[in-house]
Amino acid sequence: MKMEQNSILKNGLTLGCIMSVVSILLILLFFLLGISTTSWMLSGLSWVIMIVILLYGVVKYRKSIGGYMKFSDGFLLVLTAGILATVVAYFFSLVYANYINPSFVDEVMSTSISTVEKMGVAVTDEMEEQMRTSVEQTAVFSIKNFGMSILGGAIGYAILGATLGGIFSKKNPNIVEE
C-alpha cells in the first residue's frame, strides 16, 4: 500500500516522533541542570510544548491538504501522535528510572510524601511502604502498567484531538456531501 504524501498516519507518526524527541530532551535537560524531573514545572512545560507541537502539526496538515480538514482528520492526527509519544515515553521512563537516574524512585517518594503532608495528612509507615511499592512498580515493565499508560494517553490525547479537530476543522465548500 502506497502512503499518500499527506496521509494522516504519516503525519501523526512524524508528530509523535517529534513530540517524543522533544520530551526526552526536555527531561534530560532538567536532569543535567539538577532540576527535579518530578516537578510540576516540567510537567506543565512538557504539556505546553506538546500542545504547541500538535497545534503546529494540525495547522500544517490542514494547509497541506488545501486549507480544509474534516474533524476526524484532526482527531486521528492528534490521537496517532499522542499514542506514539505515550509508548515512547513509557519505555523512556523505564530507561530513565533504571539507568539514567537510579535515584528517581527516591525523588518520587520524597515528592509524594511532601505532597501528602502538605495536605495535612500524617504519613504512617504503612502508607509510606504502600507508596514505595507503587512507585517501585512503575520502574519495572509490566503489561498492566504499559496498558494503563496507553489507556491514559489515549484518553488524554483523544480529548485533545477532539478539541483541536473541532477548532481546526473546516468544510470545503466545493465538495457537496450527500
User: What is the C-alpha to C-alpha distance for residues 47 and 84, in angstroms, rounded to an integer?
Assistant: 15
What is the structure's pLDDT at 117?
84
User: What is the C-alpha to C-alpha distance for residues 46 and 27, in angstroms, rounded to an integer?
Assistant: 9
What is the structure's pLDDT at 2?
37
* pLDDT over 60 at 3, yes or no: no
DSSP 3-state of 101: coil
User: What is the C-alpha to C-alpha distance for residues 151 and 157, in angstroms, rounded to an integer?
Assistant: 10
For 133-176, the pLDDT digits (tens) are 888 888 888 899 999 999 999 999 999 999 999 999 998 888 77
pTM for the model stands at 0.84
* pLDDT over 70 at 15, yes or no: yes
Q: Is 34 left (phi over 0), alpha (psi -120 to 50) or beta?
A: left
User: What is the C-alpha to C-alpha distance for residues 101 and 108, in angstroms, rounded to an integer?
Assistant: 12
What is the structure's pLDDT at 75?
97
Q: Long-range contacts for 110-114 (Cβ within 8 Å, ≥24 apart)?
A: 111/36, 111/38
